[in-house]
Amino acid sequence: MFEMTTWGTCTVQDSFIKNKVGRQNQIPAKDISKTGRFPVVDQGQNFIAGYCDNEDKLIDFHLPLIIFGDHTRCFKYIDFPFILGADGTKVLVPNKAQYDPKFYYFALLSLELPNRGYNRHFKFLKELGLPLPPLPEQKKIAYILSTVQKAIEAQEQIIATTTELKKALMQKLFTEGLRGEPQKKTEIGLVPESWALIPIGELFETQLGKMLSPKAKVGTSPKPYLRNKNVQWGRIDTYDLLSMDFNEREVVKFSLAKGDLLVCEGGEVGRTAIWDGELEECYYQKALHRLQPKGSQISNEYMAYWLMFSFLLNNTYGVTGTRTTIAHLPEIKLKPLLVPLPSVEEQHEIIDALTIFDRKIENHRKKLKVIQDLFRTFLHELMTAKIRVNKCDLDS
């Protein structure tokens, strides 16, 4: 299985054949719908960009083929009839005398293509070389990698399904509660009759973070801080933290304590997560609000779930910019926002119900990462012949 041998190589430029796909098969982004007869594939991160009913644009020939995003560097293996998104999509039809199409896709995935920003990348891709093992070995390699890829897709589907179930539960909990009581109409929608509506400013101390400063970035004792991008929905990503100086007054004012609730002020407004104290010392920038309860009538955990529901799912507040069209949530607009407040006991029950889903999602995210790491390892070692499968009987 590990016996080495010399494979041939082939440049990407010489690995594909001319095809009949052209502008007549493309549609602009404005013509892509959420529903339709035929899937639309473009260079975006989502595998399917949307749908279209225009059968005249359909590509049902040369299949299977590969879509390459000239700007995004994305590769997509397409083995079904589809319509092509307009800008930045390249269609590669492998020379089947040389390449098994699925192996060809994985070989392209294994290439190290430098990121040139939003510039076009196809001219760089064409110059790279691909491994060229015998066709029977290509099929075995493709089979193994496809099997791991299916495991990745299964985990992604579980995460997506569980997330949708959580959304449905949030809709029920924040509009009906858990006591079966009548609902009342309010300025933020239907809520249980006994729930009070209280402004955020009455429930929480709020504090924006420190303004970014070029001078502070080159100080003598920089400290790590969170940016808007580090706060995800329901979790904080401490990868790629930046640092800057905080003086003694700022250390007291902007230091994070375990359990602090962080809310994005700009970008994806309202995106929220609780600081779990992962780092012994950490601070935050002005693009984030820190919320700390003034008393015991509300918890950060309940508030985090409410904000997730109201901003991400329900657009409860319809927050937009004051001077521009860019969404923005300054303190003066955050504090008056109304929060539906059940009893502390019911808050804890809501938290417990939603936490079950969060734990399941996080568990499958961890499994997904393990399988993704395995895929990357297999991809590298199989494409460089460090692992050989030419003598394996995969049928058995």
pLDDT confidence of residue 267 = 85
pLDDT confidence of residue 1 = 34
pLDDT confidence of residue 395 = 62
pLDDT digits (tens, 9 = 90+) for 81-130: 999 998 789 999 999 999 999 999 999 999 999 888 878 999 999 999 99
Q: CATH number for the 8-132 domain, one of 3.40.50.720, 4.10.640.10, 3.40.50.300, 3.90.220.20?
A: 3.90.220.20
- Return per-residue pLDDT of the chain as tens, 396 residues: 334 458 999 999 999 999 999 889 999 989 999 999 999 999 999 999 999 999 999 999 999 999 999 999 999 999 999 999 987 899 999 999 999 999 999 999 999 998 888 789 999 999 999 999 999 999 999 999 999 999 999 999 999 999 999 999 999 999 999 999 999 999 999 999 999 999 999 999 999 999 987 665 655 678 999 999 999 999 999 988 999 899 999 999 999 999 999 999 988 999 999 999 889 999 999 999 999 999 999 999 999 999 999 999 999 998 765 555 667 899 999 999 999 999 999 999 999 999 999 999 999 999 999 999 999 999 999 999 998 887 777 665
Q: CATH number for the 196-341 domain, one of 1.10.3260.10, 3.10.290.10, 1.10.1660.10, 3.90.220.20?
A: 3.90.220.20
Separation CA 215–CA 347 (nearest Å): 44
**CATH 3.90.220.20 location in the chain:** 8-132, 196-341
Separation CA 106–CA 145 (nearest Å): 8
Cβ atoms of residues 230 and 312 within 8 Å: no
pLDDT confidence of residue 16 = 96
pLDDT digits (tens, 9 = 90+) for 143-195: 999 999 999 999 999 999 999 999 999 999 999 999 999 999 999 999 999 99
Separation CA 275–CA 257 (nearest Å): 7
- In sequence order, which residues have a C-beta less than 8 Å from that of residue 247 and are 6 or more positions away? none
Read off φ and ψ for residue 76, nearest 5 degrees.
Answer: -135, 130
CATH number of the domain located at residue range(s) 134-181+343-396 in this protein: 1.10.287.1120
Tokens encoding 148: 């791991």
Tokens encoding 79: 């083995």
pLDDT confidence of residue 87 = 79
Cβ atoms of residues 282 and 209 within 8 Å: no
Predicted model pTM: 0.84
- In sequence order, which residues have a C-beta less than 8 Å from that of residue 348 and are 6 or more positions away? 299
**CATH 1.10.287.1120 location in the chain:** 134-181+343-396
Give me the residues paired with residue 210 across strands.
285
pLDDT confidence of residue 323 = 54
Tell me the angle at which helices 101-109 and 135-176 cross, rounded to the nearest 10 degrees: 70
